[in-house]
Structure 1
């Protein structure tokens, strides 16, 4: 049987720490949560590789280094309420649950959401809730949110989701640039204004419903 605890340690020491991730709460969470239970059984041997891992139905778990850097930049506090968009089978939600007061995992695929709902109690994520619905709508019922995280790339962040960010809130997303490359951006709300800046380049798989709109050619 694979030594998953050793694999988690190797992931943290070989992928997470060398890539500017210094938040000890986040490091501890990634050491604690068993990533393998959130991937299909046939893929558990590659659960800790430094690349996106398929979880089914054309969806992927973002590679650990990119995911960890995004969460670190979001500066999730112990009292924060977080919206995790495109949570898939729930791994990202489980990690965030270790950092925040409450986390809502939003998933559009009912089968993946069901798997998340089964896995999260196994890892003690009692402060996590999984809801099913269109990702582009967010989940205003539990908002506003101190932090919003996108678990995949988007062509743009819809205004409906920006509006669910609390004053002083942070949002991280990999946004497609004009060249088609992904740029992880940090958004901050101050009153009615939402500003953003580029943090680093990364290209997770696109989330469903966030594909680029076709350009008209005359």
Structure 2
């Protein structure tokens, strides 16, 4: 299978046709090999328009959703970004092609180990992975120009809002049952603006400021 061709086709048909327009996002999605971020037996499905299962019972989001969230976060060169729910490392890799530094938190140590090996192999050395509770953010590295949560919580944790730089953008799915993708912009030290970007479906965000593990036990 020609993955490079499949990647170009994915960008053309799944992203551009659905309105993803930011040149930096399209370029990053053209560059990062999604087939390297899924289990080997699923590599041939890497550019299909759907999420795929990965290790630890988690998923890698569909390409369109990754691109839409990164576009909504308005990443720029020089930005410092926090991703909550690193999973396979794919979204962090895409963001690393745009932003200066990406910090990514994942509660499954197994996923961090696998993602770290992938990122190292691909030479994506501006991504820093941490094992921990993403709902707490990463206070030691704050503030961030953008925060993206790749899992859905009951609400946007206050602690994450506080880790946004002035002008910073936070994109996160919120809701029980029906989830909405929210974008929060820190307009000033005291004022936050909120925008609803539409309905989405994400795995639950488990943590101190998210869902309890018992709420979503399989």
TM over 0.5: yes
* In 2, Cα distance between equivalents of 1:152 and 1:49: 21
SS state of the match for residue 150, structure 2? strand
How far off is 1:212 after superposition?
Answer: 7.5
Aligned twin of 1:80: 79
| Residues 123-162 of structure 1 mapped to structure 2, 5 A cutoff | 123-162=122-161
Whole-angstrom CA distance in 2 between matches of 1:213 and 1:89: 20
Task: Tell me the equivalent position of 1:26.
Answer: 25
Within a 5 Å distance, the mapping from 1:89-100 to structure 2 comes to: 89-100=88-99
Instruction: Give the TM-score of the pair, scaled to structure 2.
Output: 0.92
CA distance in 1, matches of 2:76, 2:61: 22
Structure that is richer in strand per residue:
1
* Equivalent position of 2:47 in the other structure: 48
- CA shift for structure 1 position 55: 1.0
- d(CA) in 1 for partners of 2:212 and 2:103? 26
5+ residue gaps in structure 1?
A: none
Give the SS at the match of 2:152: strand
Matched residues in 1 for 2:144 and 2:27: separation? 24
Counterpart among 195, 198, 212 of residue 196 in structure 2: 198
Q: Distance in 2 between matches of 1:46 and 1:211?
A: 31
Shift of 1:123: 2.4
Q: Is the Cα–Cα contact under 8 Å of residues 206 and 213 in structure 2 kept in the other structure?
A: no
| Cα shift at 1:42 | 1.4
- Which residues of structure 2 form unaligned runs of 5+? none
- Over aligned residue pairs, what C-alpha RMSD do you find? 1.8
CA separation in 1, counterparts of 2:206 and 2:48? 24
Q: For 1:32-81, what per-residue CA distance to the aligned partner results, in whole angstroms no more than 9, with x for missing partners?
A: 10011111111112112211111111211111112211111111010110
State the 1:124 CA deviation. 2.5
Counterpart selection for 1:187 from 184, 189, 192:
184
- Give the aligned partner of residue 4 of structure 1: 3
The SS at the match of 2:54 is strand
